[in-house]
Each structure stands twice: as structure tokens, then as C-alpha cells.
Amino acid sequence: MNEKQRLESEQITTTHSSDVKSEVDENLDRLKNMSSDELISKYFQTTYEVPDLKKARSRRKKDVDIHYDFDIAEEFRGLGQGKKFLIRTYGCQMNAHDTEVMAGILMQMGYAPTEVTEEADIILLNTCAIRENAENKVFGEIGHLKPLKLEKPDLILGVCGCMSQEESVVNRILKKHPHIDLIFGTHNIHRLPNLVSEAQFSKEMVVEVWSKEGDIIENLPKARKGKIKAWVNIMYGCDKFCTYCIVPYTRGKERSRLPEDIIQEVRHLAAQGYKEITLLGQNVNAYGKDLDIDYRLGDLMDELRKIDIPRIRFTTSHPRDFDDHLIEVLAKGGNLVDHIHLPVQSGSSDILRVMARRYTREDYLELVRKIRAAIPNVTLTTDIIVGFPNETEEQFQETLSLVEEVGFEAAYTYIYSPREGTPSARWEDNVSMEEKKERLQRLNKLVNEKSAESMKNYVGKTVKVLVEGESKKDPDVLSGYTEKSKLVNFRAPKSVIGQIVEVKIVNAKTWTLDGELVEAAVEVN
């Protein structure tokens, strides 16, 4: 299939003009005067598909095409010569890793990275849609960038990531923020060279959002941030459709990479001297379900643990798919760290049912029991949502008691945020925002206490720390993380940055530990 046929078959929406960009102001005025219907018909024609719950739910298992032939056409290679790019990343590690891919592509086009907004010739906002406040931050930034765009008409401003997969967001940008030059979706990253080129030469906003979930493209370039820790995607998308969550719509259906491609990437990173790998996926425990072979996350971890790299972690887990084989493999230890992030979301079985999490409080506790039996020293952390529609005080109390019972050492806690297009966003909700905020405070108080308790146990003990660099507060102090993801600050020569060293803990705070270097000798696993 050639590029043209492929684009047609994938319901692409691209809008561009062949004219050279000029008269930005005139363009902006013209767009401002258009009605939203005009804008939509102009920019989306009929091929733009909005996230559609019914359609998304009726996803069928279909073969995903894996491509190994990504290449940047000769015509795009010099496009960024003498120019700079800046990518602002919002949200999760998946987004941060996508940023590394986009940076890799832009650098192959000749662009150089910059951290200075005013210096950039292209600015991309890699956005997050998980909660309303994440979206508000992006819209704030879009507004801040307007004067710069008016001053520098040739600047390319792009919006990508999860928000660009939402119809309402794209409409709002078209209507209210015509100074944006480019919008592209999470399945269109590999099209960046073409899109940047189109945006550069077009008068109009270039919009390319594929509603169909993407294929897997294996050989995309990556400009990794740092040489110590690396992210490796093992799968894309999510099929769980928790009733509050926008991810299955913005990231598409579950697609697993082939084990051999993952293993090769991890081996390569080990050979380059990376010390820690985090395997990424929206629901990593579903890894392999969509493959033709009988191969799951436990099998993958069992192979990866044999690679000579000190630490391997994964995120994020779904309790429902966490199987016994995986527990058995994790119990082998070695470079598989004894920290598991296991989002529970709520301690009430009734709330879990309406969240469509497909497990009960008892199922979760049973899973925790099994994990602890196999890995007695395991550290568990979690994600919790408070104020789900109609959550009662008693149901919230069940969340508090679950936190006590499991003894989570840390938790990311959120107030429920309705996301347009998800089932729960349509439900009546009798819990006031005041009540939700109050519950969050009570939960955070307990979570902080639990964290502080676990930190106290470290005082006097020696831990292994992967040294990442200078601490944020004091350049004379270095900081790094233990296998259990505890942040440790200590004084040591800068030469230990990038190494795993032993540090004796002398003081514990709620979220961090202070220590003293035991020995500067490098510890290699």
C-alpha cells in the first residue's frame, strides 16, 4: 500500500494550503469571524471521527501492522537546519517518552533542542487529558504563547498528545486559538516531518488526527533524556474502559510490541550503560493478550531479568490482569525491583463496580496477600480517586480503611474529574466539590502518615541509591532513588552520578530520606 492509499484508508484529516505563510493577522481575524460549524466543516470535512464510546467498545481484535521501515524523506531532512525546537510535556511517562520520540525526529530533521521559549522556531505542547486541570494548564499556555506568535509569525506552534484526540478540544482551538499552526494526534507522531513541513508552508491550521488506533512503528528515532534511566514501551492503548477514564479514547486499543523487539531494545540500552529501565504501558498487565502467541508480562519479565541491567520496573498495573505467573517471576528478584505500583482507585466494592474496574475490594486484598506471600519485602503504592459520582461517606471510609489495611507507602490521590465522552461524565452527582476536597484532604493526611511511617523505618539502614544528579534545592547535595523509589539526598563527589552507591540513612522526612555515602566504590549489580 502506498502512502496515499494508507492515509485514505486511515481516515486522515489534513488541512493545508500550498501558499507560503504570510499575513498572520489577517488569517487570525478571518478565523475569529467564522462560526464554529463553518470551522468544523472547513477543517474536518467529514472524515474526522470523534471519540465514540459505542464504536470504541465494539473494537474487534484485529491484526496490528508493525512497521520497521520508518524513514525521514530527503526533502524533510534539512528543514530544521539552523532552527530550534522546544517541547513542553504534560502528564504521564508515556507522554514524556513520546516527547523523546518527537525530539528524535526533529533532530533528524536538523532542528536543535532549546529550553528558551523565545529562541524556539517550533514549540510543541504534548498534552494530557486525564483531568480537567491538566487541560486548563495547556489552554493557559496556549494563551501565553499568543504574543510570541504575533511577534514571530514564522514560529510554528503545535498541540499534540492526548488532548488533540478530543473533538471538543480541537474545536475550541480552531475557534478560539487560531494562532496555533498544527494539531496532531497520538497516532500521528511518525508523520511529524510531513506535518511540520505542511505547517511551515501553509497559511492555515494543519490538523491531522487519526481516530483509528495506530499501527506499531518500531524504528522511530529517540532522543532520550539522560543516560541513566530509560523508558521502554511494551504496549500501547487500553481496552479496559473504566467509566471515568479518557485514555481508551485518546490512546486507542491495546497493541503489544513483539517480545523480541522489546528485548532487543533493553539489551541495547544495557549495552549503552543505562542503569534502570521502566517498561511502559497504560495497562502493562494486559501485555501479550492481543498477540497470537501465548506470551504475557510474566514471560517477558522472566527474559528481561537475564539482561545485565541493574533495575527493571514497569508501570502501570491493573489488578485484574495481575496473574500468578507474573508474581512468581517477580519473586525471583535480581534486577526486578520489589516495588509495585498497583492502582486501586477505591476501597469500596460498590464504587469499583460503577467504575467498571472488574475487581472487588476483597479481590484486591487477596492479590496483595498473594504478592506479599511471594515477595515479603514488597513496597506497594497506588492511585486513588475520591468523590466519584455519588460516593457516600461510608464508601469513602472504605477507601481510608483499605489504605490502612494494605499499608501503601505512597499514593497519587485525585478528585474525580468528569471527562466528556466517558460514561460517568453523564451521571448525576450528589457529592459537592467542597465535600470532595474535604475527602481528598483527609485521604492525603492518612497517606502522608503512612509514607512518613515507612520512611522512619529506614533510619540507620543502608540502601542502594542510583545517583541521578544534583538535588533540586542544593547543588552540593546529590540525589537519587532506591529500588523502592524512595528519594535520597546525600553529599558525595559528583563523580558518582550515574552509579549505584550505598548510602546510610540518617534522617527521614515524609517523602524523602537524608543519608551519608557509605562507600564511593561503584556497585554494579
Annotated binding site for [4Fe-4S] cluster: 92, 128, 162, 238, 242, 245
Q: Among residues 385, 403, 492, 500, which is the contact residue for ligand 5AD, using CB under 6 A?
A: 385
d(CA 507, CA 512): 9
Q: Does 383 bind ligand 5AD (CB under 6 A)?
A: yes
Interacting residues of 227 by C-beta distance below 8 A, sequence separation 6+? 272, 273, 274, 498
**Unique residue bearing C-alpha cell 492503548:** 237
Q: Closer to ligand 5AD by CB, 153 or 423: give it.
A: 423
d(CA 142, CA 158): 9
Q: How far is CA 138 from CA 94, 124, 125, 205, 253, in A?
A: 17, 11, 8, 18, 25
Binding mask 282-321 for ligand 5AD (x = CB under 6 A): ----------------------------------------
Q: Closer to ligand SF4 by CB, 241 or 427: give it.
A: 241
Q: How far is CA 387 from CA 54, 343, 431, 464, in A?
A: 26, 16, 7, 39
Choose from ligand SF4, ligand 5AD, none: what does 504 bind? Cβ within 5-8 Å by kind.
Answer: none
C-alpha cell at 44: 474536518
Q: Does 359 bind ligand 5AD (CB under 6 A)?
A: no
Q: Does 390 bind ligand 5AD (CB under 6 A)?
A: no
Q: Closer to ligand 5AD by CB, 200 or 413: give it.
A: 413
At closest approach, how far in Å is the CB of 318 from ligand SF4?
Answer: 5
Site residues for ligand 5AD, window 214-273 (CB under 6 A)? 244-245
CA dihedral 444, 448, 449, 452 (to 10 degrees): 180
Q: Which stretch binds ligand 5AD (CB under 6 A): 208-216, 415-423, 451-459, 486-494?
A: 415-423
d(CA 430, CA 417): 14
- Annotated binding site: which residue ranges? 92, 128, 162, 238, 242, 245
Query: What stretch of H or E contains 68?
Result: none
Q: Closer to ligand 5AD by CB, 383 or 516: give it.
A: 383
Maximum alpha-carbon separation in the chain: 69
Q: Closer to ligand SF4 by CB, 343 or 498: give it.
A: 343
Q: Does 343 bind ligand 5AD (CB under 6 A)?
A: yes
Residue 260 one-letter amino acid: E
At closest approach, how far in Å is the CB of 212 from ligand 5AD?
Answer: 23
C-alpha cell at 264: 532487543
d(CA 284, CA 450): 27
At closest approach, how far in Å is the CB of 385 from ligand SF4?
Answer: 9
Q: Does 414 bind ligand 5AD (CB under 6 A)?
A: yes
In 69-181, DSSP assigns E strands to 84-89, 112-113, 122-127, 156-161
Q: Does 138 bind ligand 5AD (CB under 6 A)?
A: no
Taking alpha carbons only, the member of 187, 207, 212 closest to residue 44 is 207
Q: Closer to ligand SF4 by CB, 222 or 419: give it.
A: 419
β-strand pairing of 379-386 with 339-341? parallel
Choose from ligand SF4, ligand 5AD, none: what does 462 bind? Cβ within 5-8 Å by kind.
Answer: none
At closest approach, how far in Å is the CB of 355 from ligand SF4?
Answer: 8
Q: Closer to ligand 5AD by CB, 130 or 138: give it.
A: 130
From the number of C-beta atoms within 10 Å of its C-beta (0-12, 13-18, 19+), residue 394 rates as exposed
CB atoms within 10 A of CB 237: 24
Q: Does 417 bind ligand 5AD (CB under 6 A)?
A: yes
Interacting residues of 514 by C-beta distance below 8 A, sequence separation 6+? 488, 489, 490, 505, 506, 507, 508
Footprint of ligand SF4 on this chain (CB under 6 A)?
238, 240-242, 245, 247-248, 282-283, 318
Choose from ligand SF4, ligand 5AD, none: what does 238 bind? Cβ within 5-8 Å by kind.
Answer: ligand SF4
Where on the chain is the footprint of ligand 5AD (CB under 6 A)?
A: 130-131, 244-245, 343, 345, 383, 385, 414, 416-417, 419
